[in-house]
Amino acid sequence: MSQITFMKKILLLLVFVIPIVPFGLPNQIPDIQYNKTILEYEEKIKANPADANLYYELGNIYYKEKQYQSALSYFQKAEELYKYKGDEATATAIEALKAKLLREQFDELEKRVKIIEDKLIEIERKK
């Protein structure tokens, strides 16, 4: 493997795995802007359905808005397109991103279960 190919793979991993922030978008987009941004990306995807990066970017927007199921769906499509194009490094990076998102969802569910358990214990003590 050439030095440039290796560096490209490392760069792609760093870009896709570490910061999951879409360019120019704050963590929480105001609803009107959010809906407009979603619609813009959906239109771009309709015009160019083979552009894996568009699916990735839309997945990022949903991720930042904590709409994890939608994010996973778009990340999955991006991963499939990158694999189809032979870009295994990017597809692998997106796969790692999906795993991170699933871990975050699981952690959030664990926190909610703990809150419910604590409330149930509190109710039982009051009886």
Q: Is residue 120 included in any domain, yes or no? A: yes
Given a contact cutoff of 8 angstroms between Cβ atoms, the answer to whether 97 and 16 are in contact is yes
Chunked mean pLDDT (size 10), the chain, 127 residues = 53 45 44 80 95 94 89 95 94 91 87 86 82
Into how many domains does the chain fold?
Answer: 1
Q: pTM here?
A: 0.65
- The residue with tokens 């214990």 is 121
Positive or negative torsion for Cα 37, 39, 46, 105 = positive
Q: Is residue 15 included in any domain, yes or no? A: no
Q: Is residue 123 included in any domain, yes or no? A: yes
Q: Is residue 5 included in any domain, yes or no? A: no
For 64, the domain range is 54-127
Q: Is residue 125 included in any domain, yes or no? A: yes
Q: Is residue 111 included in any domain, yes or no? A: yes
